[in-house]
Chains A and B, each alone.
Chain A
């Protein structure tokens, strides 16, 4: 993985020192809250309902054990013993004191981490496929390009005060595990006919109050042109993006209102001035960054095949866990292990300090010291030998981290919602917990198969409800929580925005409504091979609405 050079260390240290001074001046009253608020936000410090919240960037979701141990230490020392992994591959602490922030940031800097650009109208943490560098189906590791974008966008003077925040995601296979079509810029690393690397470029995707899928503006952008072309996009957006209305300020609105052809022509015109200039990436620089992400030297561990078969035969629970949580690695003797942060009835994305320490230890012992944070709020050990799966499973089991539900109905994305968030209108976590408990039986989950439920506690859609196969949006109506359900959303390569079923549901009706939807699917599917989303796309919303609303739906 990338290692800070002297410049990086000096830059982050200087930023910590600067923020320490700002915090001290705020605490002594030398600067007002109005003056301080933008400064704290630039360093990832929010004020939520009960306390400050610190959002720490995990660049493209990649961590090593030392970094994870530091995150555990911070949770234990400065917070209440846990952290929350988010849909942007970051971690949030819910209870840190303002006076401790400089010390926390100093500790993060020790392990080459920071909280810069985790808030504000700037280019946020660049996200990537959580299986990058390990997946059998990728054309190359997308993270070097995410790192190049990170370096380029860090405190970029021209793009630090954009009309609105800006999110970039990178993937490197046809199967989109980074939800690139719901990002401001989505990049798919690919190869052309000659085998050269480049990108399909998508712009203008996003969720929030106006969910829109991205439009492709480039089918193949040579890798050397990455920064010049992205700069051209940013310039056109910075110039024309609306600043009069924050709800219409994202690039998706600009694309929608201007039209992708017109905007694409403007980007091309801007790019023509940039493409052969200093932003052209030299092959040597690309190679230098790639070297940090050189594929792990993985020894042959062919003994794992026979061992795995025997273990699976003797322990059905282990077999279930392997079946759901272990995906094929590019090396046949290895697997990519999803560590579920979705225990049945638990809080999606939360991990205790002890669990973080355990993951760090297990990554060292079994995972070549690499950990990933997924946008689905789980963790991944991307390089685990099949021969090590059984001892890893036993260790995870002891830590409450072996829930065999990756991609199943209980693998729910949920934002912090009204239990923490100052923007929320309704709670998300208790809704997720109740659904998880209702469907927690392993046999029932297995029968239902792949099904993504995503829950947001407000229209900002941090819980990605628009792209949930079943999406749940909490709103406030007449002072009470109400939940709208949408169906048919998807954040993968066949992206779609879910459609609202009809009137909302009161909190105590939501899980029953989900059960009605699931039962309808089970009754309508052609067989176990037809997943929920496939079934929905075949039969449409009508049978689900009829099941949910009865004669009311027929009359509508």
Chain B
């Protein structure tokens, strides 16, 4: 079935245990970089990632699940909204530069 083109979408959430921003990867696992996110380019794919998000929410792996619009660029998916770009790239300020990030363990 052929469907109308849509804006590319990715699924994002925050990991339940520590709140770290995550995106749904192509292998169905939650990943820490939007570059590794699965790109939903048609309606069926969007329905699928929405279902995956609901399941992950029900399974208590993530919270605050959202489908967001992205633009596909040479360096990877780029969210249209600044809010989502900041979620993807981290604070735009040089906070606590001496401290290592404490991201670990998959959701």
Contact = CB atoms under 8 A, between A and B. Distances in A.
A318 interface: no
B82 A29 contact: no
User: Which of B64, B80, B93, B100 has the most chain A CB within a 10 Å cutoff?
Assistant: B93
A547 interface: no
B20 A479 contact: no
Given A50-B19, A50-B21, A81 B59 contact: no
Interface stretch (A91-99, A142-150, A306-314, A448-456): A91-99
Nearest to B81: A479
Contacts of A48: 19
A80 B59 contact: no
Interface stretch (B10-18, B37-45, B46-54): B10-18
B102 to A, nearest CB: 7
B83 A49 contact: yes
B93 A479 contact: no
Contacts of A28: 60
Interface residues of B, number: 29
B106 interface: no
A269 interface: no
Contacts of B57: 33
A481 B82 contact: yes
A419 B86 CA distance: 7
Contacts of A26: 16, 60
Contacts of A418: 82-83, 86
Interface stretch (A64-72, A184-192, A427-435): A427-435
Contacts of B93: 347, 419, 429-430, 433
A49 B21 contact: yes
Contact of B19 (A52, A80, A430, A433): A52
Given A418-B86, A427-B92, A81 B80 contact: no
B98 interface: yes
Interface in B47-83: 57, 59-60, 63-64, 80-83
Contacts of A49: 21, 83, 86-87
Given A50-B19, A433-B93, 16 more contacts: A26-B60, A27-B16, A50-B90, A51-B14, A51-B20, A52-B19, A80-B100, A98-B17, A347-B93, A347-B95, A350-B95, A352-B96, A418-B86, A419-B91, A430-B93, A476-B82
Interface of B: 14, 16-21, 57, 59-60, 63-64, 80-83, 86-87, 90-93, 95-96, 98-102
Interface of A: 26-29, 32-33, 47-52, 80-82, 94-95, 97-99, 347, 350, 352, 418-420, 424, 427, 429-430, 433, 476, 479-481
17 contacts: A27-B16, A27-B17, A29-B59, A33-B57, A50-B20, A50-B90, A51-B18, A52-B18, A80-B100, A81-B99, A94-B95, A350-B95, A350-B96, A352-B96, A419-B92, A424-B83, A427-B86
